[in-house]
């Protein structure tokens, strides 16, 4: 089993950084063509590209958020385990 | 359709191109922040970090690829804007020339008409004739010019058509979309083998960007096809060690991979944790919004509507909160066991299944199917109840069956709490049986030799009986019913469940809840402890079961079917022993 080393400040830092990355990915604007092309086939191709870009960036945002939440939950889990152990140690005493 | 050389706005296309460059800057900033988070995590070590590292390492390369695709699109748009600008400049020159030529032609035609009249007069002179010939020559020249300009315009139309096609093709190219153009058009027509190969070759951010029909087709694949495909990507793999293509599938299509029969359960676990965490995070946001709207609601009608919305948001939050808490809730085990999120379906209501025990390696797997009123909000409670059985097994033999708390169906509401009579009918059971049967078949497909059991409580036994009867290939070892709400008449006896062994327990319950459910069921459902062919499990003894619950309130004097010291706990542990 791997060694366990963790600090609340590390997990907090990871969570906040990923939260910030999530917002950046989600807010990165993907412009629409607004009729600039004057050609239906070009507009259709750009619309497909735009949708693919939006979904790809959504994946970046979702994955960052999930990882940030994972770091946050890990902190809660470690805190719970620590409290539990403290309780058991107190009971043993 | 004929291209219009003057259509479009090259300046706006250039502006669009600059906006894409701004987007690149944002994505770079995000990728840098993620890289910083990965660096910050250097002080974090352990198995939990491994799971984090595997995924965080995919984000920055994916962001770079997306930025690269924007680069390619910017090139296409830049070339297009320049060419359209040149075409429009040329078009304006031609249009101006055409206008001048048309005006000159009109004037010349008038003059020519007058000159011809003069030539035909009695007093016509040689000068009149020369003038008419000169004007005719001018008219001929202007007609030639008009014809040349028309030809130039037609050539410009073709040039614009070429520019439009080049831009359209450029924006649809692999380096812009990240996937060969033929994929988007032909995925639906590919054979299963070619489709799966194409999907596995896509990077995660491209896979995530595919049309939903890709996910739908993948979700409908037979388990044996999926298993062979998955193994071909780099073997079955483990949570710690597996192929990059498998990682891409987990992160890009978690809702599909998490419930895809044929995929190993470690991968389903990772995918479902991603999906569930996303859903939980969304539920947190939705609850915050609902609370804010409720406090700001004005007027009686508005407050009632906002109150309903808040209750719905709170209900969903509680369900998802308890489900994700299954990863860390206290259990009654003698020795620890790994946990796996076996299924997660983010609907209304959200449904799922959580295992205590590794479904990829356990020698025995048992599905615990709860009854009326159960939902994901009860996940930890049922996991703890299942672990009581596992604790008994660990005490008896050292080994325990992996217990899957299966909350994969929309159970009927608790009749006592709501007065809703759905529990007396079969609709919920029939709907749930199809999903339960499929989930059991998923285990059987990936683990053909594993001992597979079902322990069902109350209305869960109604559902489970239908599921087991529908598929004899499930090869169920033990089917245990506790306080059954009745078995439908379409399953006439124990043999019809196809289980090798069937056990049934019915306590003398306070308020006779199970008996009430059977007595008033419509259509009528049978008591499996009465002439059904099941082996009866006794409920009396030093701790006699006296309530309908699986686990009674420990502060009460009540005893549930799976409480410590009961014969039903011991019997269930033995019936599902590996």
Q: If you measure CA to CA, which chain A residue comes closest to B25?
A: A28
Q: If you measure CA to CA, which chain B residue comes closest to A6?
A: B44
Give the model confidence (pLDDT) of B41-84 as tens digits: 988 888 778 778 878 888 999 999 999 999 999 999 999 999 99
pLDDT of B1 above 70: no
A 47-66 residues inside an 8 A Cβ radius of B: 48-49, 51-53, 55-60, 62-66
pLDDT of B553 above 80: yes
Lowest mean pLDDT of B88-97, B172-181, B370-379, B477-486, name the range.
B172-181
Judge whether B325 and B342 are in contact, CB under 8 Å.
no
- Backbone φ/ψ region at B408: left (φ over 0), alpha (ψ -120 to 50), beta: alpha
pLDDT of B204 above 90: no
Of A21, A39, A53, Cβ closest to residue B30? A21
- Which of B350, B412, B356 has its CA nearest to residue B382? B356
Q: What is the pLDDT of residue A91?
A: 58
Query: A50: helix, coil or strand?
Result: helix
Provide, as residue numbers in chain A, all residues whose Cβ is less than 8 Å from the Cβ of B52. Answer: 14, 67, 70-71, 74
For chain A, say whether B344 makes contact (Cβ under 8 Å). Answer: no
Provide, as residue numbers in chain A, all residues whose Cβ is less than 8 Å from the Cβ of B164. Answer: 37, 39, 41-42
Q: What is the pLDDT of residue A29?
A: 83
Q: What is the pLDDT of residue A84?
A: 74
- Which of B435, B55, B34, B35 has its CA nearest to residue B278? B55
* pTM for this entry: 0.79
Q: What is the pLDDT of residue B208?
A: 84
Backbone angles phi, psi at B428, to 5 degrees: -65, -40
Test B167 with A39 for CB contact under 8 angstroms: yes
Question: Rounded to whole angstroms, how far apart are CA atoms B361 and B359?
Answer: 6
Task: List, in order, residues 6 or more apart from B4 with CB less than 8 Å away.
Answer: A38, B157, B160
**pLDDT over 90 for what percent of chain B?**
79
Between residues B52 and B434, which one has the greater pLDDT?
B434
Query: What is each CA distance from B172 to A28, A29, B167, B377, B464, in whole angstroms?
Result: 22, 20, 9, 46, 50
Q: If you measure CA to CA, which chain B residue comes closest to A77?
A: B328
- The string of DSSP letters for B217-261 reads HHHTS-HHHHHHHHHHTTSS--SSS--HHHHHHHHHSHHHHTT-T
Test B70 with A53 for CB contact under 8 angstroms: yes
Give the Cβ contact number of residue B106 at 10 Å: 11
Test B208 with A5 for CB contact under 8 angstroms: no
For chain A, say whether B30 makes contact (Cβ under 8 Å). Answer: yes
For chain A, say whether B325 makes contact (Cβ under 8 Å). Answer: no
- Which of B363, B446, B462 has its CA nearest to residue B411? B462
Task: List, in order, residues 6 or more apart from B93 with CB less than 8 Å away.
Answer: none
Angle between helices B192-201 and B223-232 (to 10 degrees): 40
Chain A nearest C-alpha distance from B171 (Å):
6
For chain A, say whether B316 makes contact (Cβ under 8 Å). Answer: no
Architecture of domain B328-575: 3-Layer(aba) Sandwich (3.40)
Q: If you measure CA to CA, which chain B residue comes closest to A38?
A: B8
Judge whether B327 and B350 are in contact, CB under 8 Å.
no
Give the Cβ contact number of residue B348 at 10 Å: 8
Test A10 with B41 for CB contact under 8 angstroms: yes
Chain B nearest C-alpha distance from A91 (Å):
17
**pLDDT over 70 for what percent of chain B?**
98
Provide, as residue numbers in chain A, all residues whose Cβ is less than 8 Å from the Cβ of B177. Answer: 48-49, 52
Q: What is the pLDDT of residue B118?
A: 95
Q: What is the pLDDT of residue B213?
A: 85
Give the model confidence (pLDDT) of B389-416 as tens digits: 999 999 999 899 999 999 999 999 998 8
Q: What is the pLDDT of residue B248?
A: 82
Q: Mean pLDDT throughout B529-541? A: 96
Provide, as residue numbers in chain B, all residues whose Cβ is less than 8 Å from the Cβ of A87. Answer: none
Counting one residue from chain A and one from chain B, the pairs whose CB atoms sit within 8 A come to 211
Angle between helices B47-119 and A8-27 (to 10 degrees): 10
Judge whether B424 and B381 are in contact, CB under 8 Å.
no
pLDDT of A2 above 70: no
Provide, as residue numbers in chain A, all residues whose Cβ is less than 8 Å from the Cβ of B274. Answer: 63, 66
Selected for mutation to probe chain B from A9, A11, A17, A65 (highest B CB count within 10 Å) is: A17
Mean pLDDT score across all residues of chain B: 93
pLDDT category of residue A93 using cuts at 50, 70 and 90: very low
Q: What is the pLDDT of residue A1?
A: 52
Give the model confidence (pLDDT) of B349-361 as tens digits: 999 999 999 999 9
Q: What is the pLDDT of residue B189?
A: 83
Test B46 with A6 for CB contact under 8 angstroms: yes
Question: Rounded to whole angstroms, how far apart are CA atoms B578 and B574?
Answer: 9
Between residues B132 and B278, which one has the greater pLDDT?
B132
- Which of B518, B563, B530, B527 has its CA nearest to residue B545? B563
Q: What is the pLDDT of residue B47?
A: 73
pLDDT category of residue B258 using cuts at 50, 70 and 90: very high
**Among all chains, which residue has been given the structure tokens 């896979």?**
B207
Give the Cβ contact number of residue B235 at 10 Å: 13
Judge whether B520 and B513 are in contact, CB under 8 Å.
no
Query: What is each CA distance from B46 to A15, A73, A80, in whole angstroms?
Result: 17, 15, 17
Test B59 with A64 for CB contact under 8 angstroms: yes
Question: Rounded to whole angstroms, how far apart are CA atoms B211 and A3?
Answer: 42
Q: What is the ipTM of this complex?
A: 0.91
How many residues appear in chain B?
A: 578
Q: Mean pLDDT throughout B524-534? A: 96
pLDDT of B245 above 90: no
Backbone angles phi, psi at B406, to 5 degrees: -100, 105
Angle between helices A40-92 and A8-27 (to 10 degrees): 160
Selected for mutation to probe chain A from B28, B208, B330 (highest A CB count within 10 Å) is: B208
Provide, as residue numbers in chain A, all residues whose Cβ is less than 8 Å from the Cβ of B30. Answer: 21, 24-25, 28, 60, 64
Backbone angles phi, psi at B341, to 5 degrees: -80, 100
Classify residue A81 by burial, with Cβ atoms within 10 Å: 0-12, 13-18, 19+.
exposed
- Which of B58, B81, B77, B76 has its CA nearest to residue B11? B81
Strands B501-505 and B535-537: parallel
Provide, as residue numbers in chain A, all residues whose Cβ is less than 8 Å from the Cβ of B9. Answer: 35-36, 38
Of A3, A29, A69, Cβ closest to residue B46? A3
**What residue ranges in B446-490 does DSSP mark as E strands?**
451-457, 476-482, 487-488
Q: If you measure CA to CA, which chain A residue comes closest to B326?
A: A77
For chain B, say whether A10 makes contact (Cβ under 8 Å). Answer: yes
Q: Mean pLDDT throughout B420-440? A: 95
* Domain layout of chain B by residue ranges: 10-177, 181-252, 328-575
B412: which DSSP letter?
P
Q: In what order do the strands lie in the sheet with B402-407?
A: B339-345, B351-356, B402-407, B364-369, B451-457, B476-482, B501-505, B535-537
Query: What is each CA distance from B554 to B64, B328, B546, in whole angstroms?
Result: 56, 21, 13
pLDDT of B244 above 80: no
Chain B nearest C-alpha distance from A87 (Å):
13
Q: If you measure CA to CA, which chain B residue comes closest to A8?
A: B44
Test B29 with A73 for CB contact under 8 angstroms: no
For chain B, say whether A85 makes contact (Cβ under 8 Å). Answer: no
Give the model confidence (pLDDT) of A13-69 as tens digits: 999 999 999 999 988 889 999 999 999 999 999 999 998 899 889 889 988 988 888
Question: Rounded to whole angstroms, how far apart are CA atoms B251 and B232?
Answer: 19
pLDDT of B309 above 50: yes
Question: Rounded to whole angstroms, how far apart are CA atoms B14 and B525?
Answer: 72
B187: which DSSP letter?
G
Element (H, E) at B547: none
CA atoms within 13 A on the CB side of B294: 16
Question: Rounded to whole angstroms, how far apart are CA atoms B493 and B462?
Answer: 13
């Amino acid at each position: 089993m791997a060694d366990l080393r963790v600090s609340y400040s590390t997990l907090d830092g990871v969570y906040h950084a990923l939260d910030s990355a999530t917002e950046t990915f989600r807010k990165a604007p993907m412009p629409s063509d607004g009729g600039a092309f004057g050609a239906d086939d070009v507009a259709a191709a750009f619309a497909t590209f735009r949708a693919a870009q939006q979904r790809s960036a959504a994946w970046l945002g979702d994955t960052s958020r999930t990882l940030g939440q994972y770091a946050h939950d890990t902190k809660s889990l470690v805190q719970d385990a620590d409290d539990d152990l403290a309780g058991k140690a107190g009971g043993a005493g | 359709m004929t291209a219009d050389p003057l259509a479009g706005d090259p300046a706006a296309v250039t502006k669009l191109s600059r906006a894409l460059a701004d987007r690149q800057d944002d994505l770079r900033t995000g990728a840098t922040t993620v890289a910083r988070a990965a660096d910050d995590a250097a002080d974090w070590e352990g198995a939990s970090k491994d799971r984090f590292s595997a995924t965080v390492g995919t984000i920055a390369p994916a962001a770079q690829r997306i930025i690269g695709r924007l680069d390619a699109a910017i090139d296409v748009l830049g070339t297009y804007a320049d060419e359209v600008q040149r075409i429009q400049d040329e078009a304006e020159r031609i249009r101006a020339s055409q206008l001048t030529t048309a005006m000159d032609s009109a004037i010349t035609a008038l003059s020519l008409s007058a000159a011809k009249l003069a030539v035909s007069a009695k007093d016509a002179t040689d000068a009149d004739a020369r003038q008419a010939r000169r004007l005719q020559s001018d008219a001929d020249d202007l007609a030639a010019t008009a014809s040349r300009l028309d030809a130039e315009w037609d050539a410009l139309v073709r040039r614009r058509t070429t520019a439009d096609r080049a831009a359209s093709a450029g924006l649809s190219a692999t380096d812009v979309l990240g996937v060969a153009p033929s994929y988007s058009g032909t995925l639906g027509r590919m054979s299963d083998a070619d489709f799966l190969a194409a999907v596995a070759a896509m990077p995660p951010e491209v896979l995530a960007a595919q049309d939903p029909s890709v996910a739908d087709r993948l979700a409908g694949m037979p388990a044996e096809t999926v298993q062979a495909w998955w193994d071909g990507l780099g073997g079955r793999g483990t949570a710690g060690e597996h192929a990059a293509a498998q990682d891409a599938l987990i992160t890009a299509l978690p809702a599909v991979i998490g419930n895809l029969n044929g995929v190993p359960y470690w991968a389903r676990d990772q995918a479902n944790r991603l999906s569930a965490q996303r859903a939980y995070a969304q539920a947190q946001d939705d609850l915050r919004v609902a609370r804010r709207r409720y406090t700001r609601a004005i007027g009686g009608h508005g407050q009632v509507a906002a109150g309903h919305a808040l209750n719905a948001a709170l209900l969903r939050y509680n369900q998802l909160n308890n489900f994700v808490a299954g990863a860390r809730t206290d259990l009654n085990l003698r020795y620890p066991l790994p946990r796996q999120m076996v299924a997660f379906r983010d609907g209304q209501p959200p449904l799922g299944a959580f295992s205590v025990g590794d479904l990829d390696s356990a020698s025995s797997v048992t599905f615990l199917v709860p009854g009326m009123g159960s939902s994901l909000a009860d996940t930890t409670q049922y996991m703890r109840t299942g672990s009581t059985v596992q604790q008994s097994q660990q005490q008896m033999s050292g080994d325990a069956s992996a217990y899957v708390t299966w909350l994969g169906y929309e159970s009927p509401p608790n009749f006592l709490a709501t007065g809703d009579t759905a529990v007396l009918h079969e609709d919920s059971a029939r709907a749930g049986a199809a999903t339960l049967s499929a989930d059991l078949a998923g285990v059987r497909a990936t683990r053909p030799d594993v001992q597979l059991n079902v322990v069902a409580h109350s209305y869960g036994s109604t559902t489970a009986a239908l599921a087991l009867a529908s598929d004899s290939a499930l090869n169920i070892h033990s089917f245990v019913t506790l306080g059954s709400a009745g078995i439908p008449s379409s399953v006439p006896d124990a043999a019809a469940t196809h289980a090798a062994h069937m056990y049934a327990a019915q306590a003398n319950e306070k308020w006779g809840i199970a008996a009430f459910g059977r007595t008033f069921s419509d259509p009528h459902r049978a008591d499996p402890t009465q002439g059904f062919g099941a082996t009866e499990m006794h409920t009396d003894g030093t701790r006699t079961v006296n309530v309908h619950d699986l686990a009674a309130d420990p502060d009460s004097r009540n005893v549930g079917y799976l409480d410590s010291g009961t014969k039903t706990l011991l019997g269930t542990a033995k019936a599902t022993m590996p």
